[in-house]
Amino acid sequence: MKNPLNLYSMNLSSATRSIVRRNHAIIAPDGYINSNVPGWTGGTVNVIINEQMGARLCQTLVTLRAEGRLEGRTEASQIFFYVVAGAVQATAGGETRLLGQGQFVYVPVGQEYRFENPAEGTQLLTFHKVYEPLAGHAAPGIVWGEKDDSKAPVYMNDEALRIQELLPNELGFDMAVNIFTYDRGGHLPMVETHIMEHGLLYLAGQAIYVLDQEWYHVRQGDSIWMAPYCQQWATSVGKEPSVYIYYKNVNRFPT
């Protein structure tokens, strides 16, 4: 049997909800193994999506102890940092702010950054992408912001769907990060087939995600990678809205 749900419900260590295919992956927390990342100390780093699996983005989840610290400089890749849980002091571009749950800082290439004094157990989600400059358009600066459902317009005239764009919609940016909320009963209005790639983390609720005609039951804490042209459809299930934060490459010439 392909579907491991029965094994999973028996709590056997040979079972997992994670799945890795050529064109998509579901990474559930049950299989996390930590990585050592230079400059990121005092916690665990799980590299969830990376070029090693065929992706062109990197997505990590960092869980910090009270002595945790992330310090570095963005080089070829820009990094988007989002606080999934807890709170941490963030410094970028010479400015320091206390970031709580739902707040973020986007650090473009060539910038120093530092995260320190976290609350025990603080979780940070990161999306990294090699920056592709565009002639005639200024490279992005640092962006601070937060999840705010009142800034999430209805998606495709469906009152059950809302998308908040966290980064400015400007050609200087070659990546977007959005928060997609599906109220109870909300579903994508069509099967999407597109050149853009996605990495995502479920922040709340449960859903059925259909990837290349395979159906998966996913929930808060699960991550998904969708390669370009991975066909995608999703519907919320359960009584709560389902919410995910996702990455998308945008605004560049399709070579």
| 214 counts as binding ligand UGY under rule CB under 6 A | no
CB atoms within 10 A of CB 4: 15
| 180 counts as binding ligand UGY under rule CB under 6 A | yes
φ, ψ dihedrals at 242, nearest 5°: -105, 140
Q: Looking at beta carbons only, is 82 or 246 nearer to ligand UGY?
A: 246
Compute and round to an integer the Cα radius of gyration of the chain: 18
Q: Alpha-carbon distance 100 to 122, whole Å? A: 9
| 122 counts as binding ligand UGY under rule CB under 6 A | no
| 248 counts as binding ligand UGY under rule CB under 6 A | yes
Q: Pick one of 60, 78, 181, 232: the residue that binds ligand UGY (CB under 6 A).
A: 232
Q: Looking at beta carbons only, is 55 or 62 nearer to Mn ion?
A: 55
Nearest approach, Cβ of 119 to ligand UGY (angstroms)? 30
What is the per-residue burial (b if ≥16 Cβ within 10 Å, else e) of 214-253?
eebebebbbbbbbbeebbbbbebbeeebbbbbbbbbeeee
Q: Which does 180 bind (CB under 5 to 8 A by kind): Mn ion, ligand UGY, none?
A: ligand UGY
| 192 counts as binding ligand UGY under rule CB under 6 A | yes
Q: Looking at beta carbons only, is 25 or 92 nearer to ligand UGY?
A: 25
Q: Looking at beta carbons only, is 192 or 212 nearer to ligand UGY?
A: 192
| 71 counts as binding ligand UGY under rule CB under 6 A | no
Q: Looking at beta carbons only, is 8 or 229 nearer to ligand UGY?
A: 229
Number of residue whose CB is nearest ligand UGY: 232
Q: C-alpha distances in angstroms, 78 versus 52, 235, 240?
A: 18, 31, 33
Q: Looking at beta carbons only, is 154 or 250 nearer to Mn ion?
A: 250
Q: Which residues bind Mn ion (CB under 5 A)?
A: 192
Residues touching ligand UGY: how many (CB under 6 A)? Answer: 6
| 198 counts as binding ligand UGY under rule CB under 6 A | yes
The footprint of ligand UGY (CB under 6 A) covers 180, 192, 198, 232, 246, 248
